[in-house]
Amino acid sequence: MIRPPEAVDHFDRFNTRLHGLDSAAVVDAPRWREVLPAILDYVGEDVVVAHNAGFDIGVVRYACAADNIAWPEMHFLCTMVMARRALSLPSYRLPYVVESLGAEMGAHHDPLSDAHGVVAVVRALADRAGVCTLADLAASQGLSIGHMSSDHYIGTVTNGSGAETSHPSKSTWTPTPAGISTEESLFSPAP
């Protein structure tokens, strides 16, 4: 568990209903700025894969900006973007994508269940494309792996058309509301 940065230390009722987390759940947890280094050490050079990675990476960017710290160096890939390119579905919500690919996952918005769902999507899309690395999977969909660093952000987008965002100036910013290496096989055991 992680407590939000002091500047945004509140819990929206909608989010509490969605995830079951409130201020009492994180009262003794360390703050974002204390936990970020351990997260970055854990991720290392790996690619973070998430369903709706724009949201998840946006949370990282937002928390860093709220704490007045530089965005970290991070590479990421979005299974929702890949599913939209690879599948024709009426909905691209994670449980629906997982089910459409013949896999199962637990309760949506439970972190471990969502992680299992993302792995199922990656494996199924990689099998369909006949690839075994994240870089090849992204390329098979005509996408690039997203990248964030202290001064820019490029999302998981069509190769060559990345929309770049610069880090907001600290004088003008106002708060508003596990990875797999690109070089390792998707199916290699974790070190």
pLDDT number for residue 85: 95
Tokens of 178: 């596990």
CA distance 39 to 30: 13
> Is the pTM of the predicted complex or chain greater than 0.85?
no
Q: Which of 85, 95, 61 has the alpha carbon at shortest distance from 176?
A: 61
- Who contacts 40 (Cβ-Cβ below 8 Å, separation ≥6)? 72, 73, 74
pLDDT at 188 exceeding the cut of 70: no
Confidence of residue 159 (pLDDT cuts 50, 70, 90): low
pLDDT at 74 exceeding the cut of 70: yes
Confidence of residue 160 (pLDDT cuts 50, 70, 90): low
Report pLDDT digits (tens) over 9-28.
Answer: 888 888 888 778 888 888 99
- Who contacts 2 (Cβ-Cβ below 8 Å, separation ≥6)? 26, 29, 30, 31, 32, 35
- The domain spans of the chain are 44-166
CA distance 84 to 97: 9
pLDDT at 39 exceeding the cut of 80: yes
